[in-house]
């Protein structure tokens, strides 16, 4: 099979291209070369979390990989068969475990069971939190037929990391489309984890007050958990038959008084079918679903644009974006012929 060349500087020019491309390469059994990796970032090339993600994928599909080292700006990935997988991996830094899990979970489409334990960062900057993955992404994926369970054994905040997550992904036999158009219920679930309660108790109350003043019936769950350094994360989420929405935030130790306000404001403002962050996470599996999926989103992020572009190159999926009142509608027609046999 010919090697598919991918320009890693396209669109947002970060790790998203590499993660999506290698995941789909495994599933579709397509050899790829990704060049100009993370060329739009302050420190270009592979970072430890990207390295760990590709190592895990390579083990899962018995791939031959060239260019797998920190700082590398070009990776060649030749996938082979996918087996049942039982792995333990350590990022070695506070590199994002949730981003690594996003690369792993869609491999359930190979019909194999995946069990992976990963050490690294559970709640770190420029990444969804583990609670977002557990409560928001898991709900969206389950509606497609992708079922996974995760146990957060230990939290890991920036800069030390040291978190531990156990992930189990069940085989997926058939993908279902999604239709997520508009939030139908004004309910909010607030989940907060932290190392030091005195730093966040007022923040939870402020976030809850903001939600309730905007008409949301709110439930609250909080948990104090040990970690290698101080930290906290907050998630506000909801799902109904027409929407799956989440907004998360990390504690800024230099500006603690504002913790929770941003994600509460974001959540209140999300009235479409999905939030801006979830939209790009839906694309990879939906590109392999032969039926039409439709979802609405308040804005089109660079990550969403990039993921639509990369998945179309690897799967042949068709997509369209249209402006509607309050946001955008995304239509995605996948190609089941691209899925691994």
The tens digit of pLDDT for each residue in 166-179 reads 999 999 988 999 99
- Residue 341 reports pLDDT greater than 50: no
Distance CA 243, CA 192 (A): 22
Q: What is the pLDDT of residue 80?
A: 94
- CATH code of residue 151: 3.65.10.20
Q: Can you tell me the distance from the alpha carbon of 234 to that of 52, in angstroms, rounded to the nearest whole number? A: 26
DSSP state letter for 182:
B
Question: Taking Cα atoms as reference points, which of 169, 75, 65 lies closest to residue 118?
Answer: 169
Catalytic residue among 50, 78, 239, 303: 303
Q: Is the pLDDT of residue 192 over 70?
A: yes
Pick from 86, 92, 89, 85: nearest CA to 53:
89
Indicate the pLDDT class of residue 200, thresholds 50, 70 and 90. confident
Instruction: Report the C-alpha gap between 50 and 16 in whole angstroms.
Output: 10
Listed residues 241, 269, 297: the one ending a domain: 269
Confidence of residue 25 (pLDDT cuts 50, 70, 90): very high
Q: The domain spanning residue 69 has which CATH number?
A: 3.30.110
| pLDDT tens digits, one per residue of 234-249 | 999 999 999 999 999 9
Task: Taking residues 282-287, report their average pLDDT.
Answer: 96
Q: Which of 146, 173, 200 is the last residue of a domain?
A: 173
Strands (E), the chain: 4-7, 32-35, 64-66, 75-78, 85-90, 114-120, 148-154, 163-169, 179-180, 187-194, 217-224, 232-240, 243-250, 292-297, 318-324, 327-333
For the segment 72-80, the average pLDDT, to the nearest whole number, is 95
Give tens-digit pLDDT for 29-50. 999 999 999 987 888 899 888 8
Token look-up 């993370």 returns 38
Residue 270: which H helix or E strand, with range? none
Q: Exposed, middle or buried by CB within 10 Å (0-12, 13-18, 19+), for 73?
A: middle
Cis check: omega of the bond before 159, within 30 degrees of 0: yes
Mean pLDDT lowest among 48-52, 145-149, 183-187, 221-225? 48-52
The three-point CA angle 100-111-48 to 5° equals 15
Strand partners, 87: 116
H or E element: which one contains 126? Answer: none
Contact between residue 185 and residue 171 where contact means Cβ atoms under 8 Å apart: no
Q: Is the pTM of this model over 0.85?
A: yes
Could you tell me the CATH number of the domain that includes residue 214? 3.30.360.20
Domain final residue pick, 209, 236, 269: 269
Q: Which band of pLDDT confidence, cut at 50, 70 and 90, is reported for residue 197?
A: confident
For residue 135, the tally of other CB atoms under 10 A from its CB is 21
Q: Is 78 a catalytic residue?
A: no
Q: Is the pLDDT of residue 339 over 70?
A: no
Mark whether 241 and 309 lie in a shared domain. Answer: no
Give strand pairing partners of 163. Answer: 120
One-character DSSP codes across 65-123: EE--STT-S-EEEE------EEEEEE-SSS-BHHHHHHHHGGGGGGS--EEEEEEEBSB
User: Picking from 112-126, 198-212, 326-340, which range would have the lowest pLDDT averaged per residue?
Assistant: 326-340
Tokens of 228: 């290698």
258 with 282, same domain: the answer is no
pLDDT of residue 201 exceeding 50: yes
**Average pLDDT of 152-159?**
97
Instruction: Look up the domain containing 337 and give its range.
Output: 274-341
The total domain count for the chain is: 4
Q: What distance in Å separates the CA atoms of residue 335 and residue 238, rounded to the nearest whole number? A: 30
CA distance 41 to 329: 29
221 contacts 275 by C-beta, under 8 angstroms: no
- Phi, psi of 69, rounded to the nearest 5 degrees: -155, 155
Structure confidence at residue 338 (pLDDT):
54
pLDDT bracket for residue 262 (50, 70, 90): very high
């Amino acid at each position: 099979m010919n090697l598919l060349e991918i320009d890693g500087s396209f669109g947002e020019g970060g790790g998203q291209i590499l993660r999506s491309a290698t995941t789909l390469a495994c599933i579709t059994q397509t050899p790829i070369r990704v060049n100009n990796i993370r060329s739009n970032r302050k420190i270009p090339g592979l970072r430890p979390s990207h390295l760990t993600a590709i190592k895990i994928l390579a083990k899962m599909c018995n791939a031959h990989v060239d260019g797998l080292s920190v700082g590398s700006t070009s990776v060649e990935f030749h996938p082979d068969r996918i087996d049942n997988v039982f792995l333990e991996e350590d990022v070695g830094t506070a590199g994002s475990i949730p981003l690594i899990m996003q690369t792993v979970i869609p491999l359930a489409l190979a019909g194999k069971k995946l069990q992976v334990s990963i050490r690294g960062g559970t709640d770190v900057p420029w990444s969804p939190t583990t609670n977002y993955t557990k409560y928001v992404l898991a709900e969206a994926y389950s509606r497609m037929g992708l079922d996974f369970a995760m146990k957060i054994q230990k939290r890991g905040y920036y800069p030390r990391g040291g978190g531990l997550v156990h992930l189990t992904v069940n085989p997926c036999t058939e993908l279902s489309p999604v239709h997520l158009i508009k939030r139908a219920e004004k309910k909010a679930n607030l989940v907060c984890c932290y190392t030091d309660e005195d730093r966040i108790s007022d923040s939870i109350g402020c976030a809850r007050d903001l939600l309730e003043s905007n008409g949301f019936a709110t439930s609250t769950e909080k948990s104090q958990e040990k970690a290698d350094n101080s930290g906290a994360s907050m998630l506000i989420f909801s799902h109904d038959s027409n929407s799956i929405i989440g907004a998360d935030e990390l504690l800024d130790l230099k500006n603690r008084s504002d913790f929770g306000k941003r994600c509460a404001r974001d959540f209140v403002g999300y009235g479409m079918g999905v939030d801006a962050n979830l939209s790009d996470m839906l694309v990879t599996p939906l590109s392999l679903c032969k039926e039409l999926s439709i979802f609405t989103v308040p804005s089109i992020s660079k990550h969403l644009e990039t993921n639509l572009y990369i998945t179309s190159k690897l799967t042949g999926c068709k997509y369209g974006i249209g402006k509607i009142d309050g946001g955008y509608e995304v239509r995605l027609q996948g190609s089941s012929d691209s899925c691994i046999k």
